[in-house]
Structure 1
Amino acid sequence: MQSRRDQVQAQSHLLGRLSAALVAGEPDGLETPHRRTTVGLLAGILVAALVAGGFTLYGFFAPGGATAWRRAGALVVEKETGSRYLFLDGRLRPVLNYASARLLLGEDLAVVTVSAKSLRGVAHGQPVGIVGAPDVLPAGGLAGAHWTACAPAATDLAGTETTALTLAVAATADGTALPADRAVLARPAGDPAAGHLIWNGRRFRLTAPWLPAVLGHDGPAVTVPAAWLDLLPAGPDLGPVAVPGRGEAGPVVDGEPTRVGQLFTARTAEGSERHYLLRRDGLVRLTPLAYALLAADPATVAGYDGRAVVPTPLSPAALARLPVAARPPLADELPEVAPAAASRGPGLAWCLRFGADGRPRVVAARAVTASGIVRGGVGVTRTARTADAVAVAPGLGGLLVAGRGGEPGTGYYLVTDAGVKYPLAGGAVAERLGYPPANATVVSPDLIDLLPTGPALDPRGVVG
């Protein structure tokens, strides 16, 4: 009896005879009818693979012959060396940096990588470009970036303790803000006699040497660079209160003669104590700060014949009878109560942080360290206002325009993460570099001055 295998083999033999009869016309032929087709297909695939492999090996060991780079707007990069060229007037002109290439070709610039053999035989010309222009055009932008200027303690080359000015530009920032009831007593480096009280984002110049003790800041003042102080808006001077006609005879009060410049005290119906100053135009109410300044003023002490300055009690009847002047003795920008001295933690420096509104906020934070930061470079210049160290977060940078209060001016600059600013000849140049002027970030000119300056970027200044 036939097995299943015998049946399958018989079926296959029958189908093979039918195929041979249809294809070759010989049902009993010795060769398989599809053998020639299979052999031809395999042979063709093998020949095609050998031909493709041959061309690949030839292109690898003997490259060259490409001509697509011979067109306007191409930045040619030699594959083997990384050298960059612009193909101008039939010559390969080495380009000093990418910014120079953009200034020459604008947005039409296209980077083409070419082998050295393809460039063989092409004439070379003189280099073109601006020395010191940036090689990378940052795309991160500066919108929302925090600008932090710090005044850390430093040591000069002679080992003398001094102070430095550092600038950090980053997307995020840390630090502890100066409380509203605290202030910092600062003195500019090189002028220890001058003092400034830093409070509420402003600086108030002290006009007398005895003022720090009266204000409760009898500790050592913080030494800061003068350029750091200049970043703070100046408030009115803080000093002795001017009293016109001091020492002149005043009205009789509670049966006693008085003099202009005399201090008085009175209790209100609620039991609180108030201080007053007698002026030519009548009494004027004093804030705690104004009273402290008047009581400690040597001119007031002289009016009391060297005796202790003790305010004269004022009866309710006298207070009701005497005229009260409306004009206060101190400017409205000054605090009513002297702010207490602030302290900062170890390793921290007093810094000014600028936000989108351009207003400085005093914070205690870690300053940028000078180690590892390049302070200069090819074509980079510095001035007396340039920061000692500048650090811009990697990848951060872009187009900014000088302005105050968020209102843009006319001066455009390109800032890179190398911490250098490059003046631009105008908005058209910014467009040529790929930065729409409408997207420029408005930054105070005082902050821009802290950045070292690179060469001006202008197509007319491209040498070559």
Structure 2
Amino acid sequence: MATKRDLVEAYSFSRRRLVTAFVSGAPGGREVEPSRPGRAIVGGIAITVLVLAAAAVLGFVKPRPNAGWADSEGVVLAEDSVQLYLVQVGENGEDTVLVPIVNATSARLILGSDLNPTTVPEAEINKYEQADAIGIPEAPVAMPGGDALVRTGWTGCTTNGGGFQVAVTSDASVEVDAQAAMVVSSGGTYFLLAPGQPDAAGTPRTFRMEIPSAEAAAELLEVLEGPVPEDVVEVPRDWVDLFPAAPPLGLDAFDFEGQLDQPGQGIEGLTLSNGNPALTGMLVLDRNGDEVVLTADGYREMSDFGAAVYRTLPNIGEPSQVTGDIGTRYADPAPNDVWPVDRPELRQDATAQQPCVVLSTHEDVPPTVTLAFRPSAPAAAEGVGADEVRTFVERGSGAVVRVGGFTDTRAGDAFLVDSQGVRYALPGDALTQLGYGIDDAPVVPTAWIEHFGCGVTLTREEALRPIGSSAQADRTCTPVAPGEEAPAEEGAEAEAGAGG
């Protein structure tokens, strides 16, 4: 056993070693460096920056409402329910009442397009009195933006014996043939669809011309080297109405200015080459072989197409050569601004079994249409029944239009067509309240807009009505007022004035 002396010496030895270690330093002469306080400071700063950044991001994603949101009128959005509220403040600046608004369209009609609602926590919303909900439940949930509006290039396609479809798309999906012509039948009535003269801006335009009778149609088809009447494409009448009307292909279309008030009268000094007397109203060949119509005091020169139509009239037939002086020449009596001048070449191949019409709208010039063929989806009317009319609007798109006739430039009521194919009337300042401008609303003929689903009228007054009120219960869809087509000659003058 160690003695007390041994323990004292061992303790002294350990003490000397410890002192030597502290005094002598680390082996090799390298001292142990104390930790630097700057590292801890830098780390703390970095953590603080991260915390502040996270707080900023959280504040951006989930902003706090302005402290005074309830002190001024406007629109707020409940954070959890995503319900819009109209803020109504009392006369004394107190007694704020929140009025639920059924949808964003109603809110825009009330306050304008720049809503920018303040997001408010549900708990804050519940602190205030709430009135009965207002708005137009049937209003469109989403409206097309300005860049999504389809202003031109609408199509209307049909098939032989089928119905038709009106499509509003950014890509027409058809092949336009502005010089094409064809004869179609609708319920026993025949029509020639053919290009007239271009409009004031030089844009081609196609017209519909009714043929007075089946006999006249057969004769015209023979003159134009078209198909027999039994092979003519059968189309819906509403599809034919997508074209502007030109004067029917009958005698009344010719303006002889009173020179043929008494047709069939003999003309002194004139005979036909077969020896028969020349009579007023006859279609004859002059010395140059041109077809002209004889009048009491001269003759009327005829365009190639005008002569073809005149030949189909009762008791006219093939022209004969005339001998003698036929007198003074007068202007062509045919409405050549909307009729073809030359005989059109009729479309008769397989593509004619699926004809289309393309609508073009223009600034300060009336709308025009042209024939088109070879439709593909979504323009094609495949599968549409004979008595059926379908509409198609490209997803996310729509249109804002003013309804008028084929001779109008800025007239007519405004309508919104949404992506569901429903039209809504926009009377008064509803157009601008929803954020659209006058340039967003081209003129579209009545026949093109009336086939879309009929929605309710969108006005500020309607948007302010309580849900379920008697006034709202009585609200019905607004029909499109029928367009009045001006006579072709007047329409041409209107277009010339607009284009000049």
Instruction: Please tell me the TM-score bracket, short chain as reference.
Output: 0.5 to 0.7
1:409 — aligned with what?
Answer: 411
Give 1:60-459 correspondences, 5 Å limit: 70=70, 72-79=73-80, 81-88=81-88, 90-106=96-112, 109-114=115-120, 116=122, 119=125, 123-141=129-147, 145-153=151-159, 162-164=162-164, 166-180=165-179, 182-188=180-186, 192-200=187-195, 201-216=206-221, 217=226, 218-219=228-229, 220-240=231-251, 244-253=261-270, 256=275, 258-260=277-279, 261-268=281-288, 273-293=289-309, 295-300=311-316, 311=320, 313-314=321-322, 318=324, 321-333=325-337, 334-343=339-348, 345=351, 348-356=354-362, 357=365, 358-364=367-373, 365-366=375-376, 368=379, 388-397=389-398, 399-402=400-403, 407-409=409-411, 411-427=413-429, 429-435=430-436, 437-446=437-446, 447-459=448-460
Contact 2:150 2:398 in 1 (8 A): no
SS class of match (1:146): coil
Q: How many residues align?
A: 390
For the residue of structure 2 that corresponds to 1:345, the secondary structure is helix
Distance 1:423 1:223, change over 3 A: same
Following TM superposition, where does structure 1 have runs of at least 4 consecutive aligned residues deviating by more than 6 angstroms?
A: 37-42, 44-49, 369-373
Q: Give the direction of change, closer, same or farther, for the CA distance of 1:114–1:33 in structure 2 (3 Å limit).
A: same
CA distance in 2 between partners of 1:293 and 1:114 (Å): 73
Task: Give 1:194 shift.
Answer: 2.2
What is residue 377 of structure 1 aligned with on the other side? none
Letter in structure 2 aligned against 1:184: M
Distance across 1 between alignment mates of 2:400 and 2:319: 61
Tell me, yes or no, if the aligned pair for 2:355 and 2:371 is still in contact at 8 Å: no
Counterpart residue number, 1:383: none
Amino acid at match of 2:370: R
Aligned to 2:485: none
Alignment check: 8 A CA contact 2:185 2:233 kept: yes
- Once the two structures are TM-superposed, the CA of residue 238 in structure 1 deviates from its matched residue by 0.7
Q: 1:417 corresponds to which letter in structure 2?
A: S
**Which residue of 2 is the match for residue 22 of structure 1?**
none
Report the 3-state secondary structure (helix = DSSP H, G, I; strand = E; otherwise coil) of the residue aligned with 2:109.
helix
Contact 1:353 1:362 in 2 (8 A): no
Structure 2, unaligned stretches of length 5 or more? 1-24, 90-95, 196-205, 255-259, 467-500
Secondary structure in structure 1 of the residue aligned to 2:277: coil
1:395-431, Cα deviation, whole Å (9 max, x unpaired): 334644446667423633333333333323323x434
- What's the % identity of the aligned pairs? 21
Alpha-carbon deviation of 1:133? 1.2
Q: What's the CA shift string for 1:20-45, capped at 9, x where partnerless?
A: xxxxxxxxxxxx4757x878998x89
SS in 1 for 2:105: helix
Which residue type is aligned with residue 352 of structure 1? V
* Distance of 2:46 and 2:346 partners within structure 1: 88
DSSP 3-state at the match of 1:454: strand
Instruction: List gaps (5 residues or longer) in structure 1.
Output: 1-5, 17-31, 155-160, 302-308, 374-386
User: 1:248-287 CA distances to partner (integer Å, 9 max, x unpaired)?
Assistant: 333244795614155543553xxxx333443322344444
Give the CA deviation at 1:438: 4.4
How far did 1:197 drift?
A: 0.9
CA offset digits 1:219-268 (Å, max 9, x no partner):
43333333333332221221258855444333244795614155543553
Amino acid in the other structure paired with 1:331: P
Corresponding position of 1:20: none
Distance 1:45 1:423, change over 3 A: same
Cα distance, 1:107–1:247 mapped onto 2, change above 3 Å: closer
What SS is found at the alignment partner of 1:131? Answer: coil
Supply the distance in 1 between the matched residues of 2:299 and 2:383 (Cα, whole angstroms).
62
Using a 3 Å threshold, how does the CA distance of structure 1 residues 107 and 276 change in structure 2: closer, same or farther?
closer
Question: For the structure 1 residues 430 and 286, does the alpha-carbon distance in structure 2 shift closer, same or farther, using more than 3 Å as the test?
Answer: closer
Using the alignment, how far apart are the partners of 1:298 and 1:257 within structure 2? 19
**Preserved contact between residue 400 and residue 442 of structure 2 (Cα < 8 Å):** no
Question: Which range moved further: 199-208 or 392-401?
Answer: 392-401
Higher mean C-alpha displacement, 247-256 vs 203-212 = 247-256
Residues 118-171 of structure 1: CA deviation (Å, up to 9, x unaligned): 5556554422211211222322347773242414249xxxxxx5423x322223
**1:198 CA drift (Å):** 1.0
Do the aligned residues in 1 keep the contact of 2:216 with 2:313 (CA within 8 Å)? no
CA distance 1:251–1:147, shift in 2 (3 Å) = same
Counterpart of 1:3? none
Aligned-partner Cα distance in 2 for 1:267–1:34: 119
CA shift at 1:99, angstroms? Answer: 1.0
Kindly tell me: are residues 146 and 266 of structure 1, through their superposed partners in 2, closer, same or farther at Cα, counting changes over 3 Å?
same
Note the C-alpha offset of 1:361. Answer: 1.6
State the Cα deviation string for residues 84-129 of structure 1 (Å, max 9, x = none). Answer: 4445464554321101122233356333445555555655442221
Who is 2:21 aligned against?
none
Instruction: Give how far 1:444 is off.
Output: 2.7
Asked if structure 2 preserves the Cα contact closer than 8 Å seen for 1:144 and 1:355, the reply is no
Pick closer, same or farther for the CA change 1:141–1:441 going to 2, 3 Å.
farther
Contact 2:220 2:312 in 1 (8 A): no
Q: What is the aligned-residue RMSD (CA, Å)?
A: 4.5
